[in-house]
Chain A
Amino acid sequence: MESQSDTKKSLNLRSIGGKMVKPLKILLINTKSKAGFILLVSLIIFGILGQFFTPYNPNRYEFTGGLGPSYAHLLGTTIYGQDVFSQLFYGAAPTLMVGFAVGIIGTSISIIVGISAGFASERVNAFITGLINIFLIIPGVLLIMLFGSFFLGIHQSLGYLPTILILIITGWAFGARTFRSITLSIAKRDFILSSVLIGESRLSIIFRQIIRAIFPVIISNFFFTAMYGTMGLTFVEYLGVGNLLQINWGTMLYWAINNEAYLTGMWWWILPPSFMISILMFSFILLNFGMDEIGNPSLRRFDSKKSKKNKKINDDLNVNTEN
């Protein structure tokens, strides 16, 4: 009896382990999402290291202005005499942080709103759909500029919070719409009706079944919203309605363009932040597309070599879940 319960415990532990591994493995099945994942992880490492190991203090104006790239200054200096590489290195973390914060919080809101709309009665559904549509047609850019200039006075003490808040308000609706329509279609399938019949509560069905069924879409939507967040931050700072004393890739672009770096030939000031933002966007897009292909098999393209490899990974996945 004891040995039986022992093996059961180990089985449970293994199945938990399998569950933890599964989301990461999903990302690695598809070539696109694998490439995006590697890019994103290296950017995150870059951002974390940047908080501790900048070669110079990114805030201080201590060098000759407008120096070109050299060994002492890998990407030269700004016209005010700051080290561009230090700024780029240090500014990675806030840019990523805003993106991820908007992604996580925005996706959570859209999951809650979207799924409850898809699973609610017809009247509630119509009401929430109306709400989502209102938020969808709010012109995000104008709202960002309006709120940005409104928050400018109190920005100092709040850090990135106002920016994140605006981006979440303007960014959650799209995902909510997606989740609503997917939930509407899933809630009418037999396996959900069966759970209704055996007496499962709505919350149990949502958490145990629907969220698991739409998991790839959730991940894909997370990257989409995170992309919107990063893009939005860059945009806010680029327009100059954010706090210009913060260092991130958006403010770097703002100062570079404000000082006409592209006219004075200081490419080392304007190109690196643009390049890094593009890489970040690219990794998000790759992950988004990859998850789309995983979640929607009709988008998948098969070639024999790849499908052999995929089959192996899928088998591994099955072994994992079986245990």
Chain B
Amino acid sequence: MSILRTENLSKTFISRHGLVAADKIQALSNIDITLENGELIGIVGASGSGKSTLAKILVFLYKPTSGNIYFMDENITKYNSKQIKRYRREIQMVFQDPYASLDPNHSVEWHIKRPLILSKYKGNIDDRINELLNMVTLNPGYRAKFPHQLSGGQRQRVYLARALAVNPKILIADEPVSMLDVSVRIEILTLLQRIKDKLGISIIYITHDLNTVSMITDRLYVMQEGKVVEEGYTDSIINNPSKEYTRKLIEAAPNPYKRI
């Protein structure tokens, strides 16, 4: 049983100029992806290929134009706002820019405490915050700090702790390391892998960087201009890409087998 599945998912953005004239932009067309339980899949593609749009549709920040989304084999496409709220306890998203995803006016503690309170966590919230910070390998002494006092990698860890506090089944990581220093990337990626292994959370890892994808993902979807052009196991795609586009992506990355 797949935990999350999309079927012919399409999204068209309409940008209006005045009353009549409108531009249609086909961001996604007929996307079929499947996420199995406890799996870490990668979605790669160049800029503008619709990766982030897909991520935002999966957490209902956008509504799909057509197609269906299944969560635990239940069609959730037509959910109302109350059901969406309940669904979001099962799926969380890590944003690309750790400098924008934490509220500058609130401390680390607040960021982790709020989801715990909202999901009515039973038990000691204080201990749970420390536990979560330990899980993302951050010293609990950082609790009282504010985002501007943290580095990019630390912020991304705080954000991971915030997402994990909701206790989701699925985590969508939308280019979580692209804004980070190369030396910090590997720490965040191993962290993602550990989250998958220890907590059994399924992860969708979105990126344009094939180096990092080959490190941690099991399966891969390659996207081009809103379509999935290639899919399969990571190793086989990287070893023999069947499409010209995929080969170019692989060539563009310095060396997919070089461990950064």
Q: Quote the shortest CB–CB distance from B76 to chain A (angstroms).
A: 15
Q: Which residues of B contact A195 (CB under 8 A)?
A: 103, 114
Q: Which residues of A contact B103 (CB under 8 A)?
A: 191, 195, 209, 213
Q: A191-B100, A209-B105 are in contact. Are A199 and B89 (CB under 8 A)?
A: yes
Q: Which residues of B contact A322 (CB under 8 A)?
A: 144-146
CB 8 Å contact bits of A195-215 with B (1 = contact, 0 = none): 111111000000011001100
CB 8 Å contact bits of B91-110 with A (1 = contact, 0 = none): 01101010011111110000
Q: A193-B61, A194-B95, A194-B159 are in contact. Are A199 and B88 (CB under 8 A)?
A: yes
Q: Quote the shortest CB–CB distance from B143 to chain A (angstroms).
A: 11
Q: Which residues of A contact B104 (CB under 8 A)?
A: 191, 213
In the bound complex, how far is the Cα of B146 from the Cα of A212, in angstroms? 14
Is B115 interfacial (CB 8 A cutoff)? yes
Partner of B115, one of A190, A198, A318, A321: A198
The answer to whether B105 and A212 touch across the interface, beta carbons within 8 angstroms, is yes
Q: Quote the shortest CB–CB distance from B106 to chain A (angstroms).
A: 8
What interface size band does chain B fall in?
20 to 34
The answer to whether A197 and B114 touch across the interface, beta carbons within 8 angstroms, is no
The answer to whether B93 and A197 touch across the interface, beta carbons within 8 angstroms, is yes
Q: Which residue of A lies closest to B94 (CB)?
A: A194
In the bound complex, how far is the Cα of B220 from the Cα of A58, in angstroms? 85
The answer to whether A199 and B102 touch across the interface, beta carbons within 8 angstroms, is no
Is A123 interfacial (CB 8 A cutoff)? no
The answer to whether B101 and A198 touch across the interface, beta carbons within 8 angstroms, is no
Q: Which residues of B contact A321 (CB under 8 A)?
A: 146
Is B162 interfacial (CB 8 A cutoff)? yes
Q: Which residues of A contact B146 (CB under 8 A)?
A: 318, 321-322
The answer to whether A191 and B101 touch across the interface, beta carbons within 8 angstroms, is yes
Q: Which residues of B contact A190 (CB under 8 A)?
A: 95, 97, 100-101
In the bound complex, how far is the Cα of B104 from the Cα of A213, in angstroms? 8
Q: Quote the shortest CB–CB distance from A10 to chain B (angstroms).
A: 14
The answer to whether B144 and A191 touch across the interface, beta carbons within 8 angstroms, is no
The answer to whether A197 and B88 touch across the interface, beta carbons within 8 angstroms, is yes
Interface centre among B89, B103, B119 (most CB of A within 10 A): B103
Is B166 interfacial (CB 8 A cutoff)? yes
Is B194 interfacial (CB 8 A cutoff)? no
In the bound complex, how far is the Cα of B105 from the Cα of A200, in angstroms? 16
Is B59 interfacial (CB 8 A cutoff)? yes
Partner of A198, one of B97, B100, B106, B162: B162
Q: A191-B102, A321-B146, A322-B144 are in contact. Are A198 and B114 (CB under 8 A)?
A: yes
The answer to whether B61 and A199 touch across the interface, beta carbons within 8 angstroms, is no
Interfacial residues of chain B within 153-188, with CB under 8 A of chain A in the complex: 159, 162-163, 165-166
Q: Which residues of A contact B95 (CB under 8 A)?
A: 190, 193-194
Partner of B100, one of A189, A196, A197, A200: A189
In the bound complex, how far is the Cα of B159 from the Cα of A189, in angstroms? 15
Partner of B101, one of A194, A200, A208, A212: A194
Q: Which residues of A contact B93 (CB under 8 A)?
A: 194, 197
CB 8 Å contact bits of B225-259 with A (1 = contact, 0 = none): 00000000000000000000000000000000000
Interface centre among A197, A200, A213 (most CB of B within 10 A): A197
In the bound complex, how far is the Cα of B207 from the Cα of A41, in angstroms? 56
Q: Which residues of A contact B119 (CB under 8 A)?
A: 199
Interfacial residues of chain B within 56-93, with CB under 8 A of chain A in the complex: 59, 61, 85, 88-89, 92-93
In the bound complex, how far is the Cα of B109 from the Cα of A321, in angstroms? 13
In the bound complex, how far is the Cα of B165 from the Cα of A146, in angstroms? 59
CB 8 Å contact bits of A180-196 with B (1 = contact, 0 = none): 00000000011101111
Interfacial residues of chain A within 81-118, with CB under 8 A of chain B in the complex: none
Is B118 interfacial (CB 8 A cutoff)? yes
The answer to whether B61 and A196 touch across the interface, beta carbons within 8 angstroms, is yes
Q: Which residue of B lies closest to A196 (CB)?
A: B61
Interfacial residues of chain A within 198-238, with CB under 8 A of chain B in the complex: 198-200, 208-209, 212-213
Q: Which residues of B contact A212 (CB under 8 A)?
A: 105
Q: Which residues of A contact B166 (CB under 8 A)?
A: 198-199
In the bound complex, how far is the Cα of B93 from the Cα of A262, in angstroms? 71
Q: Which residue of B lies closest to A209 (CB)?
A: B103
Q: Which residues of A contact B149 (CB under 8 A)?
A: 318
Q: Which residues of B contact A191 (CB under 8 A)?
A: 100-104
The answer to whether A198 and B92 touch across the interface, beta carbons within 8 angstroms, is yes
In the bound complex, how far is the Cα of B103 from the Cα of A196, in angstroms? 13
Interfacial residues of chain B within 30-77, with CB under 8 A of chain A in the complex: 59, 61
Q: In the A-B complex, list the 5 residue pairs whose CB atoms are closest, starting with the nearest.
A: A190-B101, A198-B115, A190-B100, A191-B103, A212-B105
Query: Measuring CB to CB, which residues of chain A are less than 8 angstroms from any residue of chain B?
Result: 189-191, 193-200, 208-209, 212-213, 318, 321-322
- 28 contacting pairs across A/B (C-beta < 8 A): A190-B95, A190-B101, A191-B101, A191-B103, A194-B95, A194-B102, A194-B159, A198-B88, A198-B114, A198-B162, A198-B163, A198-B166, A199-B85, A199-B88, A199-B89, A199-B115, A199-B118, A199-B119, A199-B166, A208-B106, A209-B103, A209-B105, A209-B106, A213-B103, A318-B146, A321-B146, A322-B144, A322-B145
Known: A198-B162, A208-B106, A212-B105. 16 other contacts (CB 8 A): A189-B100, A190-B97, A191-B103, A194-B159, A197-B59, A198-B92, A198-B165, A199-B118, A199-B166, A200-B114, A200-B118, A209-B103, A209-B105, A209-B106, A213-B104, A318-B149
